[in-house]
Structure 1
Amino acid sequence: MCGVIGMVADGPVNQELYEGLTVLQHRGQDAAGIITYDNGQLNLRKSNGLVRDVFRTRHMLRLTGTMGIGHVRYPTAGCESSAEAQPFYVNSPYGIALAHNGNLTNAEALKEELFRTDRRHINTNSDSEILLNVFAHELGARNRLQLTPADLFAAVRAVHRRCHGAYAAAVMINGHGILAFRDPYGIRPLCYGERVNQQGKREYLVASESVAMDMLGFDLVREIAPGEAIFFSGDGELHTEQCAESPTYSPCIFEFVYLSRPDSIVDGVAVHKARLRMGERLAAKIRREWPQLDIDVIIPIPDTSRTVAMQLAYELGVECREGFIKNRYVGRTFIMPGQTARKKSVRQKLNPIPLEFADKRVMLVDDSVVRGTTSQQLVQLARDSGAREVFFASAAPPVRYPNVYGIDMPAAEELLAHQRDEQQICAAIGADHMIYQDLEDLKMAVAAGNPQIERFDCSCFDGDYVTGDISAEFLQGLSASRSDAAKAERAQRYKDLETVDVHNHA
């Protein structure tokens, strides 16, 4: 899960790219970057950290130009090295920069192929650099000095043939414009908008979520379709083409559960309304299967579950109250890079209001339960605050399987629900009752917003991977390379290298 943005305008884009990244910050807190193009000159700033910390006035002054792309990253792979911050850049051909959201499932094979066949060197562990080099090689194979939209779309068709997995990308080609494309399943979101400036010239924006359009005064046109590519030329022309042979509309359902902002429209679905429908369906299940539950108050876990909790409370005729106060200066716990950081940050992030818990039967509502770190601690906080009983409701089904398409839940053994039934999960988090949304109810809650969606990627719930190329051996390798233990080992290795470097320069 990352956030991408790209803009072609009649004036400077640096400030608006920055502002767009701030409203996509929830999609990644590890690193941020912007690259702009100005009369043959590329200007790049990227580093680890939040958007507000990466960009200072001196950096913004250097990011001149009327087109550019930006990125916010969280580490699903690799390490926390600033070398893996995006956008990535290659100088041949033409000079190309790329910002990517998603995860390639054949990255290792592509890396070997790029070296042996395409004679290209990959310098990081990021599959985004691999995607960039595949596109660059295919574009270079056109062997033209002046590119046409047809050349760009031909390169994207080749990317679809070679690259497997999830990718929503914004690509800037020096002197030409910005190209945006999406994998043939549309797993990760990407949309575009337009506006007419005061001089009557049309400007374009592409972003992971529509909230960036709202913030910058663009009209949302539509989602980029699965397999589609859209090119915005530097002089304001728009070209589109379907570049996949058999696209299947299969967005990741976790976008609607947790990843996207409630004020966004993703794949034609208003996220806020989808979450209201999740609350309705969860209430129906509680009335059907747990009618004996005597609930005094429903308390959401800030912030993603608030919409679900409000509707759930309305349907059940129970009060919904704010019981936890959130420290706004601590990042999203789910995307913390390691389990130790996640455990520590829960107590830093949320503080209970004891009077909302004292002597009450409390139902805590969260969007999902992944590792269970937050859930267990919050149940205990509720008990410590005087709750008589603590029930726990999840707006999503049990997360039992790894996600391979760009969400940081790769190791099955690190998932709370892996090889546990609901009673065992309930015991593990210390609750009196545990209630999960049914998968079919979740699908219907989201699909009601856009009947054109053919299916959803629900792989983290049901183990059915929409790309059809995920084997048990692949999942074992993924678990070994991306578990918290593996990440900790890589982080220590980079820390040791930095220590050596400091000593060498002392």
Structure 2
Amino acid sequence: MDREYSNSNRRLEDKMEEECGIIGIYSPEHTKNIADLTYLGLHALQHRGQESAGICVRGEDRFKTYKDMGFVTNVFDEERLAKMSGQMSLGHVRYSTTGSSKLVNAQPLLINSAKGELALAHNGNLVNSDEIRCNLEKQGAIFHSNLDTEVIAHLVAHSFKDDIIEAFTHSLQQVKGAYSIIVLTEDSLIAARDPYGFRPLSIGKLGEHYIVASETCAFDIVGAELIRDLQPGEMVVINEEGIQSNYYCERKPDSFCVFEFIYFARPDSVIEGQNVHLARRAMGRHLAREMEIEADLIIPVPSSGISAALGFAEESGIPYEQGILRNKYVGRTFIQPTQEIRDLKVRIKLNPIQEIIEDKRVVLLDDSIVRGTTSKQIIRMVREMGAQEVHMAISSPPVTDPCYYGVDTSRRQELIAAQYSVEEIAEHIGADSLAYLSQEGLLNSINTTRNGFCTACLNGDYPLVGESDKFAFE
């Protein structure tokens, strides 16, 4: 598994990034607009990955796949979508945490084996991928990408189980890690979550169409109704016989990624019965009670800090202002050739409003600090606009440890909270004070039916990875 990133600009970003978003659709009949629905779902999931996009459709006894680098709107147009009709579809948007950013690593992945054709799309990260890949290569498997998804595909192809669904079940029982995965066989759509439930996956319905997607916002855009979330260790098979559910392995302690609620998921999505926006507002209220700051304005760092800043303002009574505007037409910033131009990257995206900020005691609220580079530049800009005081409030605990479950975080030595105290971080980023939400406040803000969350990036308590595995990430 290649853990080097080909896009060096990624190291300039100061956010944790999710790996990808997936969506699958099953229609009882051949549907002309199935690719259109998949496209819209991927558009709603674009925040989960902006490097590549792909759609695979099963129709007229064959699979048809198209994928390319770039945003969904750049990869697909009406003419291309019109050529993709069928009974089942599978879509994927990618932000690479493993495997370099190139077309060969774009998904969905289509393979042909003795068991038939198979299309796969996956969200997460396998911690035993290297070991399995090595064993498969000894058996003659030839890999064309760095994807964990291809490891699963080869396991299916090499399985001694003749039935493709049984082969897929047997394959998942051999892998360890975080994954939500959707697979198209020649006659079925299969969806599964790992036994810890790290990554999200939900089932919805639009008329007679069944839809499985990473987030419920993909249902909203096409007018589908949420049925429920897949459970950890659950596999769902959808075909002409309807929808069948079974548990392919023993369920482990609930370990849903808490950063889905902090940052990854769209605010309008619902996870385990909890609206994400309302959870973030609750985080802001808890943070206001813990921080107890005197200030004139609470200003969110757009757009990730908006929900929590609203909750902070409600609880504290400090007026909420959108004192920093975001240029919504800026996508990924280009790789800048000089440090001088690189320092302007934040200014390209964010612009403080002097008339709101000048002579005010300001609380800036953001969801997290990873390396501290962006926070430092934003605080400098706000001071240049004449702020009397600048206090930083973070609606999550400090990020102290890297993630091994499908999230792009720095190595531990690059995480600012792993190296410095809160007071030292405040001095480094130029804030008059810095406050983080406690882990207790964070978990009390999330009202779901789940019993547990993965908080490894906040406290080093890894649900799955052993000490020997960690060293590879140090």
Per the normalisation by structure 1, the TM-score is 0.85
Please give the alpha-carbon distance, in whole angstroms, between the structure 2 residues aligned to 1:65 and 1:445.
Answer: 43
Whether 2:460 is the aligned partner of 1:478: answer: no
Task: State the one-letter code of the partner of 2:237.
Answer: F
- 1:48-59 counterparts in 2 under 5 A? 48-59=69-80
Residue matched to 2:225: 219
CA positional deviation for 1:428: 1.4
User: Over residues 194-221 of structure 1, what are the superposed CA-to-partner deviations in whole Å (9 max), with x where a residue is unaligned?
Assistant: 132xxxxx21000000111111121101
Residue matched to 1:107: 129
Task: State the one-letter code of the partner of 2:431.
Answer: A
Equivalent residue for 1:185, pick from 193, 196, 203: 196
Whether the 8 Å CA contact 1:343–1:374 is kept in 2: the answer is no
Whether 2:138 is the aligned partner of 1:116: answer: yes
Residue matched to 2:8: none
Task: State the one-letter code of the partner of 2:64.
Answer: N
Please give the alpha-carbon distance, in whole angstroms, between the structure 2 residues aligned to 1:75 and 1:307.
Answer: 27
Task: State the one-letter code of the partner of 1:241.
Answer: N
Please give the alpha-carbon distance, in whole angstroms, between the structure 2 residues aligned to 1:337 and 1:278.
Answer: 35
Specify the SS of the correspondent of 1:66: strand
CA positional deviation for 1:157: 3.9
Residue matched to 1:309: 309
Whether 2:165 is the aligned partner of 1:169: answer: no
Specify the SS of the correspondent of 1:464: coil
User: Over residues 328-358 of structure 1, what are the superposed CA-to-partner deviations in whole Å (9 max), with x where a residue is unaligned?
Assistant: 122478xx99998986542211111111110
Please give the alpha-carbon distance, in whole angstroms, between the structure 2 residues aligned to 1:343 and 1:112.
Answer: 43
Task: State the one-letter code of the partner of 1:116.
Answer: K
Whether the 8 Å CA contact 1:43–1:62 is kept in 2: the answer is no
Please give the alpha-carbon distance, in whole angstroms, between the structure 1 residues aligned to 2:41 and 2:249.
Answer: 29
Whether 2:165 is the aligned partner of 1:143: answer: no
| Closer, same or farther: CA 332–368 of 1 in aligned 2, 3 Å | farther
Residue matched to 1:466: 463
Whether 2:356 is the aligned partner of 1:356: answer: yes
- 1:368-379 counterparts in 2 under 5 A? 368-379=368-379
Please give the alpha-carbon distance, in whole angstroms, between the structure 2 residues aligned to 1:397 and 1:192.
Answer: 31
CA positional deviation for 1:249: 2.2
Residue matched to 2:11: none
| Closer, same or farther: CA 72–301 of 1 in aligned 2, 3 Å | same
| Closer, same or farther: CA 42–307 of 1 in aligned 2, 3 Å | same
CA positional deviation for 1:60: 1.4
Whether the 8 Å CA contact 1:258–1:304 is kept in 2: the answer is yes
Task: State the one-letter code of the partner of 2:432.
Answer: D
Residue matched to 1:256: 261
| Closer, same or farther: CA 115–425 of 1 in aligned 2, 3 Å | same
Please give the alpha-carbon distance, in whole angstroms, between the structure 2 residues aligned to 1:360 and 1:179.
Answer: 55
| Closer, same or farther: CA 266–339 of 1 in aligned 2, 3 Å | farther
Whether the 8 Å CA contact 2:122–2:179 is kept in 1: the answer is yes
CA positional deviation for 1:58: 3.4
Please give the alpha-carbon distance, in whole angstroms, between the structure 1 residues aligned to 2:337 and 2:130.
Answer: 24
Specify the SS of the correspondent of 1:189: coil
Task: State the one-letter code of the partner of 2:268.
Answer: D
Residue matched to 2:4: none
Residue matched to 2:245: 240
Whether 2:22 is the aligned partner of 1:29: answer: no
Whether 2:116 is the aligned partner of 1:94: answer: yes
Please give the alpha-carbon distance, in whole angstroms, between the structure 2 residues aligned to 1:85 and 1:8.
Answer: 22
Residue matched to 2:40: 19
User: Over residues 225-277 of structure 1, what are the superposed CA-to-partner deviations in whole Å (9 max), with x where a residue is unaligned?
Assistant: 001001111x3611111111233322000000000011001133211121121
Per the normalisation by structure 2, the TM-score is 0.91
Task: State the one-letter code of the partner of 2:123.
Answer: N
More strand by share: 2
| Closer, same or farther: CA 122–344 of 1 in aligned 2, 3 Å | farther
User: Over residues 475-495 of structure 1, what are the superposed CA-to-partner deviations in whole Å (9 max), with x where a residue is unaligned?
Assistant: 34234xxxxxxxxxxxxxxxx
Calculate percent identity across the aligned residue pairs. 37
Specify the SS of the correspondent of 1:400: coil
User: Over residues 285-304 of structure 1, what are the superposed CA-to-partner deviations in whole Å (9 max), with x where a residue is unaligned?
Assistant: 013xxxxx320100001112
Specify the SS of the correspondent of 2:408: coil
Residue matched to 2:453: 456
CA positional deviation for 1:440: 1.5
Count of residue pairs brought into register by the alignment: 451
Structure 2 unmatched runs, 5+: 1-17
Whether the 8 Å CA contact 2:173–2:248 is kept in 1: the answer is no
Mean alpha-carbon deviation: is it higher for 202-211 or for 247-256?
A: 247-256
CA positional deviation for 1:63: 1.7
Equivalent residue for 2:215, pick from 206, 209, 213: 209
CA positional deviation for 1:156: 4.5
Task: State the one-letter code of the partner of 1:112.
Answer: C
Residue matched to 2:237: 231
Residue matched to 1:430: 430
Whether the 8 Å CA contact 1:402–1:475 is kept in 2: the answer is no
Residue matched to 1:61: 82
Whether the 8 Å CA contact 1:256–1:271 is kept in 2: the answer is yes
Please give the alpha-carbon distance, in whole angstroms, between the structure 1 residues aligned to 2:153 and 2:338.
Answer: 31
CA positional deviation for 1:474: 3.0
Specify the SS of the correspondent of 1:309: helix
Residue matched to 1:367: 367
Equivalent residue for 1:131, pick from 124, 127, 152: 152
Structure 1 unmatched runs, 5+: 145-150, 197-201, 288-292, 480-506
Please give the alpha-carbon distance, in whole angstroms, between the structure 2 residues aligned to 1:416 and 1:345.
Answer: 20
User: Over residues 403-457 of structure 1, what are the superposed CA-to-partner deviations in whole Å (9 max), with x where a residue is unaligned?
Assistant: 11111104112212122110111111111100000011111211xx22x312110
CA positional deviation for 1:28: 0.5
- 1:416-427 counterparts in 2 under 5 A? 416-427=416-427
Task: State the one-letter code of the partner of 1:8.
Answer: Y
Residue matched to 2:279: 274
Residue matched to 1:290: none
Please give the alpha-carbon distance, in whole angstroms, between the structure 1 residues aligned to 2:336 and 2:310.
Answer: 30
Please give the alpha-carbon distance, in whole angstroms, between the structure 1 residues aligned to 2:336 and 2:111.
Answer: 28
Mean alpha-carbon deviation: is it higher for 40-49 or for 127-136?
A: 127-136
Please give the alpha-carbon distance, in whole angstroms, between the structure 1 residues aligned to 2:295 and 2:284.
Answer: 16
| Closer, same or farther: CA 5–324 of 1 in aligned 2, 3 Å | same
Whether the 8 Å CA contact 1:361–1:387 is kept in 2: the answer is yes
Specify the SS of the correspondent of 2:24: strand
Task: State the one-letter code of the partner of 2:97.
Answer: T
Residue matched to 2:9: none
| Closer, same or farther: CA 298–214 of 1 in aligned 2, 3 Å | same
Whether the 8 Å CA contact 2:152–2:172 is kept in 1: the answer is no
